[in-house]
Structure 1
Amino acid sequence: MADYIKFVDVTKCDGCRACMVACKNWNDLPAEPEGFLGSYQSHENLTANTWNVITFNEQETSNGGFEWLFRHQSCLHCVQAACEKACPEDAISHTKFGSVVINADKCVGCGYCVENCTFDVVKLATYKDKNGKEYRKAQKCTLCTDRLEEGLQPACVTACHTDCLIYDEKEKVLSEANKRLAKIKDRFPNANVYNPQGIEGTTTVYLLADKPSVYGLPEDPKIPLSQVVWKDYAQPLGKAMFGVTTMAVVGAVIANAVKKDKGDHKGGEDNHE
């Protein structure tokens, strides 16, 4: 299969939220109505049951007017995914489509992925078993991997009426993105293609109208070295030598260390999400 990516051209978004509705419908996610937030934005942030939010950012123009900068906020599906590195149960993995998915059967609700997600995307949902005991599972956008397996496009992409969202071959999309970038530079001098190489790129790539920090995105995110050492070296060796139970305890210690220096490695002037 060709290398495909999801592309988000925020300069074409009109804030209609059709992508949000499509995501809820396809994934059978419950409604989460919120009170007035002081703007047109419907939800303050992503949740365990709201995997896609259109953010509204009011910006003053050079002529004294204003315009809305919208962003389709959802999982970026990092090539080097911090959530995957932080998970002590191997519950998070990459699919052949480049999507980062969570295996609910393996997830124990520890929350390490939530604490370490580069873009503050992963959230914990609370459930009850047949005896009424509560338990937690990590949840987020799956890039509609179940649809991709059937040759379909992600639900959000099919719902977008402005072609703000596209799912197509990577090289083709990036070529068109750079052409589009050149066209909008006069209007948006700080426009850029956001595909951070500090995490080896993402399967969801943005064309932003302004600096990433304006949209709450880290300028140059990176994976903390402690995460790489834990996932790629310490965990496999530890499981072989000490067993899974012991490594869960070790994992807690390392995950807490990762959490402590999380802000120092995400990049960005103010350590945004």
Structure 2
Amino acid sequence: MTTKYAKLVDTTRCNGCRACMVACKNWNDLPVDPEEFKGSYQSHDKCGANTWNMLTFTEHVAEGNRFEWLFRHTACFHCTDAACVKVCPADAMHFTEFGTVNTNYDKCIGCGYCVQNCPFGIVELETHTDENGTEYELAQKCVMCVDRLREGDQPACVEICHMDALIYGEKADMEALAEERLAEIKERFPNANIYNPVGVEGTQTFYLLAEPPSVYGLPENPRVPLSATVWKDYAQPLGKAMLGVTTMAVIGGYISNKLFNKDDHGADEGEESNE
């Protein structure tokens, strides 16, 4: 049986220092991604092609009229049932031996279906220019520092966290730790909960939250669009068996465009996955 690994994000221990953001930038050699000041301590609206993790800052009035700063480290969730993997017509989005989701840049065609179908709005395209001056796009997101994992090291964000708000290890151990910490904080945070969405069969980055997911701007029940499940799990394998891989790849590109392009008729289904 393959060992599953995960990153536990304990929002009740985070102090908003942003060391995880700096460590991610340094290790992955990501460029500066400045944004205009919008009246908040929060530096970015969301993760982007050059900002693979960031902190959300939420001002919240809890029970008893108690003010709380709610900080949340956010990055790719690395879903067990990953929509980005299902809709990718080039098999560029794939699972690693650690259960994380990565992009094979040699295969990525920049179609953007992963961007449009991610239930958490994490993936983004970045524009590159080749030696001939031709522009092309590649999907970018957190890779859970898979290069570090293969060397036996922790993800950069986890290693730098001085509050033990980020912990990485075998998923069974992380789930047990989350339950232990949940019991410890229930008196202070009666609405505390573990966010490991069943709609995507759990995630390799999961959370201990002080308040309901919606307070942190998270979807309550994220899930993979039905069209993606039918296509990847049933229609595509059957088509390859009947028509051959090459023919099915051509047909697949056309069908993927119709099914997964939210700019076309697929928008309603995609929006539903964020509820």
Q: TM-score range by the shorter chain?
A: over 0.9
Q: Which amino acid aligns with 1:29?
A: L
Number of equivalences: 267
Aligned position for 1:199? 200
Q: Deviations over 1:10-51 (max 9, x none)?
A: 000000000000000000000111121211001111110100
Q: Which moved more, 1:116-125 or 1:255-264?
A: 255-264
Equivalent pair of 2:119/2:273 in contact (CA under 8 Å): no
1:263 to 268, 271, 274: 271
Matched position secondary structure for 1:48: coil
Q: Deviations over 1:127-168 (max 9, x none)?
A: 111121211000100011111011000000001000000001
Q: Give the Cα–Cα distance (whole angstroms) in 1 for the partners of residues 109 and 97 of structure 2.
A: 24
Matched position secondary structure for 1:12: coil
Aligned position for 1:247? 252
Q: Aligned-pair distance for 1:246? A: 2.8
Aligned position for 1:148? 149
Report matched runs for 1:33-112 at 5 Å: 33-112=34-113
Aligned position for 2:161? 160
Matched position secondary structure for 1:237: helix
Q: Aligned-pair distance for 1:244? A: 2.0
Aligned position for 1:134? 135
Q: Give the Cα–Cα distance (whole angstroms) in 1 for the partners of residues 36 and 222 of structure 2.
A: 32
Q: Give the Cα–Cα distance (whole angstroms) in 2 for the partners of residues 247 and 71 of structure 1.
A: 38
Q: Give the Cα–Cα distance (whole angstroms) in 2 for the partners of residues 102 and 177 of structure 1.
A: 29
Q: Aligned-pair distance for 1:205? A: 1.3
Q: Deviations over 1:102-140 (max 9, x none)?
A: 111111000000000011010000011112121100010
Q: Which amino acid aligns with 2:85?
A: E
Structure 1 spans left out of the alignment, 5+ residues: none
Q: What RMSD over aligned residues (CA atoms) do the two structures have, in Å? A: 1.5
Matched position secondary structure for 1:84: helix
Q: Aligned-pair distance for 1:63? A: 4.6
Equivalent pair of 1:61/1:67 in contact (CA under 8 Å): yes
Report matched runs for 1:202-221 at 5 Å: 202-221=203-222
Structure-2 change in CA distance of 1:84 and 1:132 (3 Å): same
Give % identity: 58
Q: Give the Cα–Cα distance (whole angstroms) in 2 for the partners of residues 2 and 232 of structure 1.
A: 23
Q: Give the Cα–Cα distance (whole angstroms) in 1 for the partners of residues 266 and 102 of structure 2.
A: 21
Q: Give the Cα–Cα distance (whole angstroms) in 2 for the partners of residues 265 and 117 of structure 1.
A: 9
Report matched runs for 1:1-20 at 5 Å: 2-20=3-21
Equivalent pair of 1:227/1:258 in contact (CA under 8 Å): no
Equivalent pair of 2:236/2:248 in contact (CA under 8 Å): no
Q: Give the Cα–Cα distance (whole angstroms) in 2 for the partners of residues 127 and 216 of structure 1.
A: 31
Matched position secondary structure for 2:122: coil
Q: Give the Cα–Cα distance (whole angstroms) in 2 for the partners of residues 254 and 2 of structure 1.
A: 34
Report matched runs for 1:168-207 at 5 Å: 168-207=169-208
Matched position secondary structure for 1:54: strand
Q: Aligned-pair distance for 1:258? A: 4.3
Q: Give the Cα–Cα distance (whole angstroms) in 1 for the partners of residues 267 and 63 of structure 2.
A: 40
Matched position secondary structure for 1:34: coil
Q: Deviations over 1:207-256 (max 9, x none)?
A: 00110111111111222221111112222333452342232112111213
Equivalent pair of 1:238/1:247 in contact (CA under 8 Å): no
Q: Give the Cα–Cα distance (whole angstroms) in 2 for the partners of residues 161 and 150 of structure 1.
A: 22
Structure-2 change in CA distance of 1:175 and 1:127 (3 Å): same
Q: Which amino acid aligns with 1:141?
A: C
Q: Which amino acid aligns with 1:224?
A: P
